[in-house]
A and B are shown apart, each in its own frame.
Chain A
Amino acid sequence: MKIPIHVSEESREPIYHQVETQIKTLIASGQLLPGTPLPSIRALAGDVGCSVITTRRVYQNLENAGFIKTVQGKGTFVREIENVRKEETRQKVVYEAFEKAVEQGMQLGCTEEELGTIFQESIKKYYKNGG
């Protein structure tokens, strides 16, 4: 029951937030389908390398937001999420990723035009090679 979670060493984002976003992304993108069992709080902490305090918080947040449900004695499972929510999450994740890139560009002293050009070129590079 391993799920692909990676905590970045470079990121200033707290670990719980990174893990939460990544699980949301996996669910919204359909990589984790409704009904899929998730690792226990303890096992996920082991995989990520954080404490159970952090993973407990992640599961609580995800449960409150309707992404997962915990069945007493059985474990934690991915919930069916409505398409609207799925789309919202998808957009939010992509926006956040772009914003992070812009922030980094600004730190390095890029101008608005420069970033725009880089953005266009990057898109071309990926979509020309067949997506």
Chain B
Amino acid sequence: MQTLLVEVEGLTKKYKKFTLGPLHFQVERGVVIGLVGENGSGKSTLFRLLMNLLKEDDGHILMFGQKITEDDWKQKIGYAGELLEAYDFLTIMEMKKLISRWYQDWDEEMFVNLVKRYKIDISQKFSKCSKGTKKKVEFIFALCHHPELLLLDEPTAGVDLVSQRKMKEDMIHFMDDGEKSIVLATHTVDEINQLCDEIIVLDGGRIVHTYNKDEIYDHWARVWVSDVTEPIRQHPNVIYYNTIPLQIVTDNLEILEVALEKEQININQVQRLSMEEVLEYLIEGNES
């Protein structure tokens, strides 16, 4: 079985004021990748390139090991972006008729259940739906043909708390057999904590970090110390330091410990960082 669902090599898209890429990354089977970055960092553009809705200027994308010239690979993908807006004069029922016809593996029973689960009124025009309801409808349409890969662009933005929890449950359930994958763009720390295995940080159109989530837990730390000397200030694994009280944030505790010992600095206390803090350092750190 193909173990890489997505391979992206040197992918580049140029606009007048913004360039995405060159991007290199892979999506392995059984993995949830969290795509994080500030607004305008290129997340949605990346999704559109992956879906072949935009044409890349350079580089290439392999989906399920194949070039994306023909459209049949889309049968295996569930995409929730802003694809439905173009048909927003239709009711959700009419949309379903249009969409379900296209997919060989469309699961009508699943659609009926999900519509009930998320309390969607399918007789409503899409354009009349609230922002959160639109998101839920997109999510449902992304799931109902049993895809192998979900591409979700901020699926829970504007969605009520109960539905957010349900969507999280449905994503976990989707991943349960270990054969499928999700690429999830999100600003919600909870989703990264509970769903993601890997994290890609996008900034100004470039991937500035890729991490296995557990590496973050094991390596990042806040360390309270007896002194901060110049070599420590300049140390590449020191992300941040503060003088009152003396503390250092590091992205590699083991290496820092060696450096501190060399400087004869004592460690008073060590604490893991929360994902929220780490993400802030990762995203903001690139501005300086």
Interface residues of A (CB under 8 A from B): 9-10, 12, 14-16, 40-43, 45-47, 49-54
Contact = CB atoms under 8 A, between A and B. Distances in A.
A53 B168 contact: no
B212 A53 contact: yes
Interface stretch (B97-105, B116-124, B189-197): B189-197
A4 B274 CA distance: 20
B162 to A, nearest CB: 17
Given A9-B272, A10-B271, A42-B175, A15 B214 contact: yes
A115 to B, nearest CB: 20
A43 B172 contact: yes
Interface string B221-241: 000000000000000000000
Contacts of B270: 10, 12
Interface in B171-199: 172, 175-176, 178, 193-198
Interface of B: 30-31, 168, 172, 175-176, 178, 193-198, 212-214, 217-218, 270-272, 274-275
Contacts of B175: 42, 52
A70 B130 CA distance: 44
B195 A50 contact: no
B168 A46 contact: yes
Nearest to B195: A46
Given A43-B176, A52-B30, 13 more contacts: A9-B274, A10-B272, A15-B214, A15-B218, A42-B178, A45-B194, A46-B195, A50-B214, A51-B196, A51-B214, A52-B31, A52-B197, A53-B214
Nearest to A51: B197
B244 to A, nearest CB: 22
Given A9-B271, A12-B270, A15-B217, A40 B197 contact: no
A51 B213 contact: yes
Given A15-B218, A51-B197, A53-B212, A42 B172 contact: yes
Contacts of B214: 15-16, 50-51, 53-54
A10 B176 CA distance: 31
19 contacts: A10-B270, A10-B271, A15-B214, A15-B217, A41-B178, A42-B172, A42-B176, A43-B172, A46-B168, A47-B194, A49-B194, A50-B213, A50-B214, A50-B217, A51-B197, A52-B30, A52-B175, A53-B197, A53-B214
Most buried by B among A15, A41, A49: A49
B217 to A, nearest CB: 6
